[in-house]
Structure 1
């Protein structure tokens, strides 16, 4: 008898969907003093949970459930079952609990599986892709997006006499999930998800939680996926529950039947969060990744996250009269990846993702930059800018699924230091002067100690928008150049030929 090989899994945080129904008769008949106490203690509990005052790490969020199945959803993610257990019992000690009954609940745990990367589970293999490692970590310890709409449902893989998921060979299962993920990537920027395993923990095998600002995006995604064999042949679903997120401080308005502002309309514990994008991994339902592919990356801020050291460099450059802020002078977060794919095919893929990214106010810009002097080893750059680090991190996971991604800026060559002068916007009449000056500078750089390489890349949609990427043996080697007379002359030259002053962004 042949026994199919199950994928290995690694588990992360435990997830509790706690659905509560309000006893509205009891609420209406309660004295004002008792209702005020319930609201005050309810807000304290919910706000404390969202601030994760009870644990070293985790996530929580509050939702108003739509329809008859419940009234309130409190979603918790915590590192241990003990943390989840404590949160459940703490709620029962609030005055608000007296007016609620548990309508439903679902317990699960975040996971990654061998469908994503078998090397990750091989003790003898080295996972050199730091972007993949970071992507896996984000699946094990996810953040709850601040999207307004949530849809939750449990699901199983079918074990029928004709269609039995668990009788399929591993490679065939992986191919199904990869194809399923291709559909999800089309919804990048519109739908985000958390998938968690519940075999042995609850009634189904997985819990799927989808987040979006527009509920019809979730409807459209799930409808399209119904026609994919991974769903049509092999998936069975429990009941769906829909909800709308609101900040804890608006619990009183929720109970009073008043309009409840959505998360983005108020300052709250999650008010800084951006809009992440669709992503996933699971044996179950994939909505946004290719679990059999290796490049899943996230950026740690504006090209790295060296904190104080970057600030020291920026300060020193400011003293030299060079603007060292981030692109546009704003607190934007950048993701830069390099691809060996055909630039035309790559641009078509990027343009599709960009259309989805543009649904979100946090998206600043995504563009494809081609090397000025392309050779056989030339790499094309994809640059994506976001207002929030969270949004940049999540977008990186989708950008990393683009064709022939070879590396992400900041992840490669850990023994070196990089700078990136982005968005040198050249006056059209001086474009030739600028590229000529770059050639002169490249010759000078080639003779400098500690210099490894410097490339000029040009936005394929705007030939006057360029960036220069350099790689050095060390930070000090780069600073020696920035302190040189040659660099000062280049800065002065730029004042005449550039629309704006050059901006320098650092790669850790």
Structure 2
């Protein structure tokens, strides 16, 4: 008798979906003093959980559940079961708990499996694909997306006489999941998910939590997936819970039956906290067929020198006429990845993703920049700009799945410091002058202490849109160039040939 070998798994953070029903009769009959105390202690509990005052890592969020199944969903992710256990009991000590009963709950743990990458589980193996490594990290230690709508459901794989998932060969199961994941990629930027395993922890085998700003996007995704064999033949589902996120500070409005604003639904709106891993991100609803989620955290100002040093750098550049923005050079969040793929084929892939990105109001721009270096190993850059860090994190995951991604800016060469000059928008009649001047400046840079590499890249769709990437041994080495006469002359030259002043983005 053949025995199937189960794919290996690795577990990350534990997940608790805590569904609460409110005793509305008791709430209405309670004296004002008691209700005020319940609101005060409820807000403090929920806000402190979102600020991670109880743990060094994780995430929490609060939702209003629609329908009869519950009233509130308190969603927690923490590194250990002990963390979740404490959070549950802490809630019971609040005055708010006196007006609630637990309507349901679901316990699970984030996981990755061999379906995603068998290489990851090999003894002493190192994952060479940085995008895949980041994607695995994002699945094990995810952030709760800053989205208005949430849908949760548990699910099993069928083990019936006609369709038994666990009797299929590994390769066949992997193909099913890969094809299932391709559907999810079509919803990039609209639906993200957290998938967690619950075999031995709860009644089903997995918990799936979907997030999006438009509930119909979630509906359409699930409807489309129903026709995929991975679902139609092999999936069984539990009850669905639909909910709307709101910040803890708006608990009083919720309990009063008023409109509940969803502004500041990001946990930082309740005082802010640093997630255990600032580079973690949720991923698109792609099952386990996709891989390679990066992030944009390396593009910020939180380098080893701290915010004061970054402010000093920005101020110095401002004095010489170079816009350095807050906090990422632009007043946006930048994701930059490099690929060794054929630029034309790469552009087709990026253009498909960009169509999905445009569904997000937070999407600013995504473009492909080709290197002007004639070297055979020259890389092509994909630049994606977003208004929020979380949106950039999500986009980074999809971008990291593009062909032949070799690195993400900010992740490589950790002992160096990088600066990118973006959006050198050149007046068309002066384009050749700009390129020639870049060649002269590149010659100066080559002789400067601490300089490693500088490359000029051009937007495939607009040859007047330039992108310059430099890397230095240290921040001070780069600043020495910015303070030099050669750079000042370049800035003066730029006033005559650029459509707008140069804008820089710094990489920690």
Compute the TM-score of the two structures, normalised by the length of structure 1. 0.90
Between 1:202-211 and 1:308-317, the stretch displaced more is: 308-317
1:501 Cα deviation (Å)? 2.2
Residue 279 of structure 1: aligned partner: 283
Alignment of 1:15-414 (within 5 A): 15-264=15-264, 268-269=269-270, 279=283, 287-288=285-286, 291=289, 293=291, 295-302=292-299, 305-308=302-305, 310-311=310-311, 313-314=313-314, 317=317, 322-325=322-325, 330-374=330-374, 376-414=376-414
Verify the 8 A CA contact 1:338 1:409 in the aligned structure 2: yes
Secondary structure, in 3 states, of the residue corresponding to 1:463?
strand
Check 1:10–1:498 CA distance in 2 against 1; reply closer, same or farther (3 A cut). same
Runs of 4+ more than 6 Å apart: 270-274
Distance in 2 separating the partners of 1:265 and 1:135: 25
1:207 Cα deviation (Å)? 0.4
Superposition RMSD in Å: 2.8
Check 1:506–1:328 CA distance in 2 against 1; reply closer, same or farther (3 A cut). closer
1:336 Cα deviation (Å)? 0.6
Name stretches of at least 5 consecutive residues in structure 1 with no aligned partner: 281-286
Distance in 2 separating the partners of 1:289 and 1:158: 17
Check 1:411–1:252 CA distance in 2 against 1; reply closer, same or farther (3 A cut). closer
Check 1:290–1:166 CA distance in 2 against 1; reply closer, same or farther (3 A cut). closer
Name stretches of at least 5 consecutive residues in structure 2 with no aligned partner: none
Distance in 2 separating the partners of 1:483 and 1:177: 54
Verify the 8 A CA contact 2:47 2:271 in the aligned structure 1: no
Alignment of 1:413-492 (within 5 A): 413-448=413-448, 450-475=450-475, 477-492=477-492
Between 1:442-451 and 1:460-469, the stretch displaced more is: 442-451
1:116 Cα deviation (Å)? 2.3
Between 1:146-155 and 1:13-22, the stretch displaced more is: 13-22
Check 1:292–1:208 CA distance in 2 against 1; reply closer, same or farther (3 A cut). closer
CA displacement, residues 414-461 of structure 1 (integer Å, 9 cap, x when unaligned): 454433211111122211111111222234444555544322111122
Compute the TM-score of the two structures, normalised by the length of structure 2. 0.90
Verify the 8 A CA contact 1:147 1:263 in the aligned structure 2: no
Distance in 2 separating the partners of 1:478 and 1:9: 44
Check 1:460–1:326 CA distance in 2 against 1; reply closer, same or farther (3 A cut). farther
Check 1:263–1:121 CA distance in 2 against 1; reply closer, same or farther (3 A cut). farther
Distance in 1 separating the partners of 2:450 and 2:491: 21
CA displacement, residues 185-215 of structure 1 (integer Å, 9 cap, x when unaligned): 1111111111111000000000001111110
Secondary structure, in 3 states, of the residue corresponding to 2:431?
helix
